[in-house]
Each structure stands twice: as C-alpha cells, then as structure tokens.
Structure 1
Amino acid sequence: MNNDAKSTAEPADSSDDRSNEGKVRFSELGLSDPINRALADMGFTHCSPIQAQSLPITLSGHDVLGKAQTGTGKTAAFLIALFEDLLRQPAPEERFAGEARALIIAPTRELVMQIASDANDIGKYTGLNVHALVGGMDFGKQLQAMQSRHVDIVVATPGRLLDFCERRELYLDQIELLVIDEADRMLDMGFIPQVKRIVRMAPEKTHRQTLLFSATFSNDVLRLAEQWMFERTTVEIEPDSVATDTVEQIVYMVASEEKLPLLTNLIAQPDVQNLMIFANRRDQCRVLHERLRNKGFKVGLLSGDIPQGKRVRTLEEFKNGRLQALVATDVAGRGIHIDGVSHVVNYTLPDEPEDYVHRIGRTGRAGNSGKSISFACEDDSFRLPAIEELIGRKLKCVLPPEELLD
C-alpha cells in the first residue's frame, strides 16, 4: 500500500486516541465486508480529510472534483469508491473480452504502478481484477495478462491505453466509473488531447460516474471538469500540513559553483538516509547523476527518458537502501511513495511553486519528521517569493556552514 493512503489513515493501535477525536471512522461509511476486511488488515480505522469529505459523496454515486496533494490519502479515497460501485452493481453474466468496468488514468508510469498496487491491497477480498497498462514495458505480457481474465479495473497511462483501444483489445463503452488523477500534471505533460480521445470512448458523462483529482485548480482544469463531469461536487484539501508541519525547511544561499561540493558533503552526513535530489530538467539530472557517481557515491537516476524496467529496478534499490541518493525530475518524482526519506534537496528551485510542495512531501511522511534543503543561487532565487506565498510562510534563508563547502 503506498504512502498516499498509508500516511493519512490512522492505524488501529494508535497510542494517541485523542488525535482521532472528531475524525470519521471507516466503519461509519457503510462499506461492504470485503473492503472493511482489507482496511482492517492494513490497520486503517479513521479517514483522512479528503476521504472523509469525498467518500459520502462518491459512495452515493455523485461526481467529485477534488483538490488534494499527493500524501493526503486521495488514492484510497477514489479506490474505495470505485470498488464499492463495482461490488454494488455486479457485472453482467455475459461479458465480452476486453470490456472494462472502471478506468483510472494517471500521467506517469510510476504513479500507475503505485495506484495498481494500492488497488490490489484494498480489493484483495473483492474478486475483482486490476490491470496496469504502462508504456516502456512489454506490450505482449500486458496483453496476455488482460486476456487471461476479465477486465474489471484498468489503471493506465494515456498513451498505452490508446494503444490497447486502437488495437481493439480493450473497450471503454461499458465504463461505469472514470477516475482522472493528477489532472494538472496531465496538462503540464501535454496529455490532454489523448485524454479527450479516451473520454470520448467512454459512455456519456450522464451515464457514468467521474472523479477528477488535481493538486491545483487552474482555469484549464476547471474547464475540463465542466466538459467531463455531471453535477459535480467540489472538495478542496489545502496542502498546508503537507508543506509545513512535519518538514523542516531551509534555504542555503549559494553561488552556482558551490552547489556540487555542498551536495556531496550533505550526502556524507551521518543523519542523511534515503536522500532525494530534485532538479528541473532531465539534462541537469543526468549531469548531476554522473558527477556524483564519479565521486564514488551510490546514486540512482529517475527521469522520463529512463527505460521503465531500469526505473523499477532503481526504485527497488533505493527502497532497499542500496543507494545513498536518488536524483529525479518532478515528473518522475510525483508518483514516488517511499518510507524513510530523511532529506530532500532542491538542487534547483522549481519553476512551479506547487512542485516545491510535492518535492518536500517526499519526506516527513507517516508522522515522521523530515528535512528539506534548497539551494538558491543567482539563477533561481527569484522563484522564492512565489513558493513562500503558496506555503504561507517565509523560508529560512542562510549561508551554508563552511564545513559543508570544503
């Protein structure tokens, strides 16, 4: 189960019952026995805010437009609603091969794999089949898996999903529930034309339930919601706790040439474990990864141009502690949910303030504390005011200790 749900649901053996006062219990939602059993297995008793606000609406069959950051529990929110819908409306006895009942679209391969993993955890007693379709992995194996059993739930990236639909291996005209996750990132990555084609293959918006989630509500996102949703209810969860409560944030004011020695000294600090390093562009990440490896550090690279198989292996090595650090772009980093990341370094400050919140949300998860260190040089310090406005606080800007610049 990924931390998007894990970090925001309360375990049954919580030692501080007072922290759950006023929170909605999953047992109060009238969920089916298979879902209640799975949640109990995972130790989940209380809803996070996005779950408490959205589930009563989605469980009654209404569309929801949700504003929520990664780490707020939104994945579990829409998965619980999806499984309950399919369990309450049993599949027809006669079904054609490749007819999906529910569809979840997400922008990155990592995020699709995380959602599919969560779906298998939450739906393990339901008897419903989950299929993940992503580019960069063997098409034939994905097709063979889909042909071997009924297609209940498909989790997919837009490009690979269209591949299956255009080859008439997958049909969307019987979709009962459509989930579009990270809509703002879909826009950023240029996927909206593909998503529009996918939506046109699904039943009319009055004949399906649609859930759309986004970290931000831009005018473009709201226009898409107007096109794709029917009598929607809007739920907004602000990211202040994600950005400020559990993560110590500091900005080191440095010259460009000081960034690399500062980073190498930080990696060597004894309190740094599972360090994630973010840069804005793929070429920046490649150069940084190569320089760190040349200095003898065990470092992985995660960006959109890395083959999927290698990305999966790199993530596993990072999760298992065989790598000291992971260099990533924002596109690759948004779908990552890993326990025990102690530090996040913004080697370059992000162009979009929301990406700062996503980056530092990789640490300080599941109630643990974390530390975010940003490098601000003459080229990117002008991005600080917009970040401070978004998180609602001034960031601590200091010169780095001399020993870290040796």
Structure 2
Amino acid sequence: MLKALKKMFAKGEEQQPAQVPPAAAPSPQPSAARSSAADSATRSSEESRPRKERSRTAKPRRETAAKVDVAPWKLEDFAVEPAEGKTRFHDFNLDPRVMHAIHDLGFPYCTPIQAQVLGYTLKGRDAIGRAQTGTGKTAAFLISTITQLLQTPAPKERYMGEPRALIIAPTRELVVQIARDALDLTKYTGLNVMSFVGGMDFDKQLRQLEARFCDILVATPGRLLDFNQRGEVHLDMVEVMVLDEADRMLDMGFIPQVRQIIRQTPMKGDRQTMLFSATFTEDVMNLAKQWTANPAIVEIEPENVASETVEQHVYAVASADKYKLLYNLITQNDWSRVMVFANRKDEVRRIEERLTRDGISAVQMSGDVPQHKRIQALEGFRAGRIKVMVATDVAGRGIHVDGISHVINFTLPETPDDYVHRIGRTGRAGTSGTSISFAGEDDAFALPPIEELLGRKIQCEMPPEVLLAPVPRKH
C-alpha cells in the first residue's frame, strides 16, 4: 500500500516541481511580494482565489514582545542515554527552549510517529501521517511547527490577526487539547498560542487578537471562517498549516469549509503542510494530493495501538441489564476514572442522569452540551472530581486525559475504526488499560467487523451474577 501511495505522489511531483524550503530558510514574504505573475500562472484551481483587500491600519502593530521568565537551565540537565531501537529528542538538534519544555513534560524518547514525522518535517518536507490518537502525533506536529517559527524570523511587516502557523481540527475538545499542548511546548519561547472554537464568546476570543500577535492559531473550521470573513483573521502569512483528523473532518462535512480556509493561505509550495488521519481512504489521499507538495508518508498501524496496551473484554448482556452491569462494575471495583461511550446523544444523557441519581459523579459530553459546560466537565474529569465521563464518538474524539483506567462501550460502535479510537482513551503512552464492551441483542452484529479490523477474535463472556445485582434505591 505504501509503495502505491508513494507512486501516486511521485506523479504529482513531476507536475509540481516546487518543494518546501528547509525549516531554517527565510520565512515567506508578505502576500503582495509572494503572489507573482509566475506563481499565479502555476497555482491550481483549488488554491487560486484572490486575496481580500483590507486596511492594515485597522489593527495596529504592537511593538512589545512577550516576556519569558526562564529559570537557569542547560541542555545537560536533560540527560538521556541512547537506547537501541529508540529515538531521543536530542537526536534532532532541537532548540534548547523546546528541549526545556519537553524535559518538563517528562518525554525522553520519541514515539514511533514522532521519530518518523520529525525526521522529515524538520527538514522542511510536507508530511501525511496515518495514526490514531494516543500515538503522540500532536507533539510531533507541534514540535516541528514551533521549530519552524523559532528558526525563521517573524516578518517585519506584521499585523494583528495574521497567524504564522494554523492548526485545524474537527472538534472543540480536540482544539482545546491541542492548544493546551502547544502552550506547554512554547512556554519558554515567547510564541503566542490562540484557540478559536464555536460555542464560546466571540468577543472574548477577538480580544486575544487585539492584545498580542498570533503565532500559532488552533481552530475549528466554522469559527475560523467567522473570524476570516469578518476581516479579523488573515491567513496569507501562514508558514505552517496542520490538518488533524482529516477523516473525521470528511465524516462531519467540514471539507467545503476547509477548502475555503486553504484558499486564503499561501499556495502549497510556499507553506509547509502536515495532514494527519486515522485512515488513508481514497478521499483522504485525494485531499492530501491537492494540499501538499512532495509529502513524506508515515504510517503507524492502528492494530498496535489497540492490542498491545489495552486488555479487551466483551460481555454478552441483555440490553435491559446493561445499566445494572455498568453500575456494579464501577461501584464494586471502586473505579475512579472511567469513560463510557454510547452511540446516540439521548443514550449519553440517560446514562449520565441515572449514574448521577444513583450517587456516582458523572458528566456527559455530546453535541447538546454547551461548550463552556463541556470544558468545565473535562476539567473536572481531568482533575479527578468527576468519576465517569459519558460521551458520544464525536464529543469524545479530542479527549486526552491521563490515568483513564477503563473504557466501557455501553453500545458497540457501528464503525470499527471508532472502536479502536474509543479504547485508545486508555492504555496511553505505553501504560496498560482495560476496555469492556457490552454486546446486546441490538448491537452484537457490530462485533465481527471489529474483530476483522483487529485481526483476532475477542472472547465473549457472560458477566458474573454479582455484576447483575439490582441497583440499590437511593432515598
């Protein structure tokens, strides 16, 4: 498959000779200088949309740079011995400020996708990565992006609302998580990170732009277009663009919006582009071919993520007994951080309401929950104040919380890839975790396609009688 993909992109290279400059090369010049007649003649129809004219005096330049309070630290403080079969972050000659942040996070060695992606992107190559969440891909594209911005001086003619790096993700939770990781990795650099998501106060987000430069912007497609179409955000100085979870953006119908956004950025030879997806479908690869130039292709097999770190169980249980089984599993085992997945928003709501009524602290994550409440719920779950989070697949897509011991599939997902994604909430970063799936008469049909994806059978068990005991009534 990999040879076929590389052959397909080799054809594109013959037609697209322009290559991405090395990360240390000068940054792209302002759009007026960049959009020469020759560029316009060679630009594809996908990316050939005239720039909007606007007054640059509306957003005055701020001369004060962010101050960074850096405690004395030397690279020698981050000693990591070489290990066979492992790649160290030291092996990439990263900026000491980035290494300081990586040291604080406690990551001595790269994950497989980090080692492979950084090997290409730090040299300026575009990249297409196939990887599930939990493999470290977020840190891979953030480290590469931050390095590009640190090695390339910011343009002298720089105005508010012109980000140098743009990261697009399909869900609000994923945007918040990426922005959080970006803040951790940039804390010694002076780079500014901003996040724009729907469901939050527009004016509050706008005030970020009015207070400081925007170096890295993380956004959902819809809210980013809101800012762009109002003339508050301009994308013609984007040096690095990242599209995360491209397959999910396809599923959620975001591609028309993403196309509008990309038309506002420099053409693909003048920006570095990274695209990540859990699957390499034909549609995903067609988009990648349109939006990248001479990309390196990196694949991390999802089976490894699903099978090696997560102990998987399936209980055959009648639909009427599923809630009793869930309640007893949590209370009898005294689990403290559990994610429960269901297929529909109304299921999520009912499960959360029953758990709360029966004395178990729980929150729900679905499209029906207002964004500010979703953020509060996620923070409470991350801090340990909430024991159970009940979520749909879309709402749970960007949730990365350490220490989730168990994932429970109250209903089996209709799409096998979603099963791999769900159980990937536990067993992260090499730790062990457990998934338990309830197979009832209404959803047992979904199990064979999951087993086919995993390449093995999952033994179906009957739950012990003690786990089917009636739920005590609360007075």
Give the shorter-chain TM-score range.
over 0.9
Corresponding position: 1:69 with 2:132? yes
Corresponding position: 1:403 with 2:466? yes
Secondary structure, aligned partner of 1:333: coil
Cα distance in 1 for partners of 2:449, 2:418 equals: 11
Once the two structures are superposed, what CA deviation does each residue of 1:170-213 show, in whole Å capped at 9, x if it has no partner?
00011111000011111111111111111111111111111000
Cα distance in 2 for partners of 1:167, 1:343 equals: 44
- Which of 119, 123, 148 matches 2:186? 123
Secondary structure, aligned partner of 1:332: coil
1:38 shift after superposition: 1.6
- Which of 99, 109, 124 matches 1:36? 99
Cα distance in 1 for partners of 2:263, 2:200 equals: 26
Cα distance in 2 for partners of 1:367, 1:271 equals: 23
Equivalent position of 1:216 in the other structure: 279
Q: Following superposition of structure 1 onto structure 2, how do residues 261-340 of structure 1 map, counting pairs within 5 Å?
A: 261-340=324-403
Corresponding position: 1:240 with 2:303? yes
1:56 shift after superposition: 1.4
1:13 shift after superposition: 8.7
Cα distance in 1 for partners of 2:223, 2:339 equals: 28
Equivalent position of 1:183 in the other structure: 246
Q: Please say if residues 273 and 343 of structure 1, whose CA atoms lie closer than 8 Å, have aligned partners that are also in contact.
A: no
Equivalent position of 2:453 in the other structure: 390
1:280 shift after superposition: 0.8
Equivalent position of 2:220 in the other structure: 157
CA 207–13 in structure 1, closer or farther in 2 if over 3 Å, else same:
closer
Letter of the 1:36 counterpart:
M
Letter of the 1:70 counterpart:
T
Q: Please say if residues 250 and 397 of structure 1, whose CA atoms lie closer than 8 Å, have aligned partners that are also in contact.
A: yes
Once the two structures are superposed, what CA deviation does each residue of 1:341-400 show, in whole Å capped at 9, x if it has no partner?
111110000111111111111112243322111001111111111111112221120111
Cα distance in 2 for partners of 1:392, 1:80 equals: 33
Corresponding position: 1:350 with 2:413? yes
Corresponding position: 1:80 with 2:80? no
Once the two structures are superposed, what CA deviation does each residue of 1:273-330 show, in whole Å capped at 9, x if it has no partner?
2111000111111122222223232211111221111111111221222222111011
Equivalent position of 1:135 in the other structure: 198
- Which of 265, 268, 285 matches 1:202? 265
Letter of the 1:55 counterpart:
L
Runs of 4+ in 1 over 4 A off after TM superposition: none
Letter of the 1:221 counterpart:
V
Q: Please say if residues 66 and 214 of structure 1, whose CA atoms lie closer than 8 Å, have aligned partners that are also in contact.
A: yes
1:142 shift after superposition: 0.8
CA RMSD of aligned residues (A): 1.6
Cα distance in 2 for partners of 1:40, 1:375 equals: 41
1:271 shift after superposition: 4.4
Equivalent position of 1:9 in the other structure: none
1:216 shift after superposition: 0.7
TM-score (norm 1): 0.93
Cα distance in 1 for partners of 2:106, 2:387 equals: 31
Letter of the 1:139 counterpart:
F
Letter of the 1:37 counterpart:
H
- Which of 53, 56, 59 matches 2:116? 53
Letter of the 1:163 counterpart:
D
Cα distance in 1 for partners of 2:109, 2:358 equals: 47
Cα distance in 2 for partners of 1:360, 1:251 equals: 12
Letter of the 2:151 counterpart:
R
Once the two structures are superposed, what CA deviation does each residue of 1:98-145 show, in whole Å capped at 9, x if it has no partner?
111110000111111111111111111221111111111111111101
Q: Please say if residues 407 and 422 of structure 2, whose CA atoms lie closer than 8 Å, have aligned partners that are also in contact.
A: yes
Letter of the 2:171 counterpart:
T
Cα distance in 2 for partners of 1:291, 1:313 equals: 20
Letter of the 1:184 counterpart:
D
Cα distance in 2 for partners of 1:227, 1:78 equals: 20
Q: Please say if residues 126 and 274 of structure 2, whose CA atoms lie closer than 8 Å, have aligned partners that are also in contact.
A: yes
Percent identical? 61
**Which consecutive residues of structure 2, in runs of 5 or more, have no partner in the other structure?**
1-77, 470-475
Cα distance in 2 for partners of 1:79, 1:277 equals: 29
Letter of the 2:330 counterpart:
I
Q: Please say if residues 135 and 429 of structure 2, whose CA atoms lie closer than 8 Å, have aligned partners that are also in contact.
A: no
Secondary structure, aligned partner of 1:300: strand
Equivalent position of 2:161 in the other structure: 98
TM-score (norm 2): 0.80
1:22 shift after superposition: 1.9
**Which consecutive residues of structure 1, in runs of 5 or more, have no partner in the other structure?**
1-11
Letter of the 1:150 counterpart:
F
